[in-house]
A and B are shown apart, each in its own frame.
Chain A
Amino acid sequence: MSESVKDKVIQIIAEQAVLEVSDVQMDSTLEDLGIDSLGLVESIFAIEETFDIQVPFNANDPSESDFDISSVASIVAAVEGLVAEQQT
């Protein structure tokens, strides 16, 4: 299950960045991948639609949101957490 969350999140990010899935590394930051603030909001929308979850994210202050976007790995971990929460 967690493997597939990771794969799907990476697919969403790769699509947003117009990159191959293989080019998205777990330690990449969104900035490394060339995703700007609008791209980020779009990615979060895609994540919410894909997993049917609510992502707590306010574009005004990404660092203050509960959703950690500092790297691909942190986004994957946050989404895994939200998906697990939703299943309990």
Chain B
Amino acid sequence: MKRVVITGQGTINALGHDVPSTLEAMREGRCGIADLDIRDVERLSIRIGGQVRGYSPEAHFNRQQIALYDRFTQFTLLAARQAVSQSGLEFCGDLAARSGVVLGTSGGGMNTLDENYRSVYEEGKNRVHPFVVPKLMNNAAASHVSMEFNLKGPSFTVATACASSNHAMGQAFAMIRSGLAPAMVTGGSESMLCFGGVKAWEGLRVMSKDGCRPFSANRNGMVQGEGAAVFVFEEYEHARARGAEVLAEVVGFAMSSDAADIVMPSKQGAARAIAGAIRDAGLNPPDVGYINAHGTGTAANDKTECAAVADVFGAHADRLMISSTKSMHGHLIGGTGAVELLACVMALRDGIIAPTINYDEPDPECTLDVVPNEAREAKVEVVLSNAFAFGGLNAVLALRKI
């Protein structure tokens, strides 16, 4: 089996438009969640979110591109440009033919859907723009990344709700590990902060009106975010041979299905994925120093996740750190695992553990060290990133310092 390393990373999200600004916000425990600035917000009962601010598509794309790229595709391309640029890779010849792009998203071009439903249903128009379908399709972002960077190998999009990016990155990892591809561009993106997107989530009554407080006893639901994070995963010897800077090693991945309930999480399903990722990495639970939690801030997730971690780690559960950066950037649904992997890489490279902010009150059902409110310096060798989706589909990645 080949070893897999990360040689590039990029992002745009509520905390920043690139990796350095995002990591700085995480180190400072800054909150990117604020009042939503979207059309018809007065008809929503949930009016906060982790929106990308100060973003103008015209600064990055020309008119033709904007006509063709939904917001989730734009975010993906910006993150991919940063990642590929950092990696220093140029995809041509055999490398291009064998390398691909696997991305996660849950809603795909939700803004495009929203705008065009409005136009035909609300405004009664009988004609829509010719690019509606290529703009809204879930694989649009992956396809545009493949075109911009000449990636001609295995490429597709994974949709497993809140676990989409972790499933996507797990696929990229498996492809390089098995020798199928020398490098993969991978991660995920989401942009659902439009009237229809938020309204749909409101219906489920799991959203907070006032903030995301994972693991805190006074938490009252999740808060949506938007944005993207994209990574370059590369075969270790390939990266070494060209003298690339290696950010971290991807050492394990596991997925599981609860096969139980369409929305309620399962401790057993989560625990199987966590234990599976550690086993896949050839490691033992005590090796893990930090977990980037799924930590949505809902009553159900946070207590189930803590119970699963306690089950897998036993006494070591009280020694490891587990934080939810969703408290800062919100829940990016299909893109969330990708943005959260940035915090994992920061933990390994910089020895800084991103905090769970907005932590007010201990919850007897969440008694782990959630790195409350302030980032912490700590040396960790192995980290995990959890993602547990609606539909009971779980995906956990394991990374190691290199």
Contacts and interface: CB of A to CB of B under 8 A. Distances in A.
Contact of B300 (A41, A60, A64): A60
A44 B299 contact: no
Contacts of A44: 205
Interface in B174-211: 203-206, 208
Q: Secondary structure at chain B's binding surface: helix, strand, loop or mixed? A: loop
Interface of B: 45, 203-206, 208, 219-221, 262-264, 298-300
Contacts of B299: 60-61
B204 A41 contact: yes
B220 A37 contact: no
Given A37-B263, A37-B264, A61 B203 contact: no
A38 B205 CA distance: 10
Interface in A41-64: 41, 44-45, 54, 57-61, 64
A57 B205 contact: yes
A59 B205 contact: yes
Contact of A38 (B45, B220, B262, B298): B262
18 contacts: A37-B264, A38-B262, A41-B204, A41-B205, A44-B205, A45-B203, A54-B45, A57-B205, A58-B206, A58-B220, A58-B221, A59-B206, A60-B206, A60-B208, A60-B221, A60-B298, A61-B299, A64-B220
B236 to A, nearest CB: 43
Contacts of B263: 37-38
Contacts of B45: 54
Contacts of B208: 60
Interface residues of A, number: 12
Contacts of A41: 203-205
Contacts of A37: 263-264
A61 to B, nearest CB: 5
Interface string A46-88: 0000000010011111001000000000000000000000000
Given A41-B205, A59-B206, A61-B299, 17 more contacts: A37-B264, A41-B204, A44-B205, A57-B205, A58-B205, A58-B206, A58-B220, A58-B221, A59-B204, A59-B205, A60-B205, A60-B206, A60-B219, A60-B220, A60-B298, A61-B220, A64-B220
A38 to B, nearest CB: 6
B204 to A, nearest CB: 7
A74 to B, nearest CB: 18
Contacts of B219: 60
A49 to B, nearest CB: 12
B212 to A, nearest CB: 12
Contacts of B264: 37
A54 B209 CA distance: 15
Nearest to A61: B299
Nearest to A54: B45
A55 to B, nearest CB: 9
A41 B206 CA distance: 10
Contacts of B203: 41, 45
Nearest to B263: A38
Nearest to B219: A60
A37 B204 CA distance: 10
Contacts of A61: 220, 299
Give the top 10 A-B pairs by smallest Cβ distance, nearest first. Answer: A59-B205, A60-B299, A60-B221, A60-B220, A59-B206, A60-B298, A61-B299, A41-B205, A58-B220, A58-B205
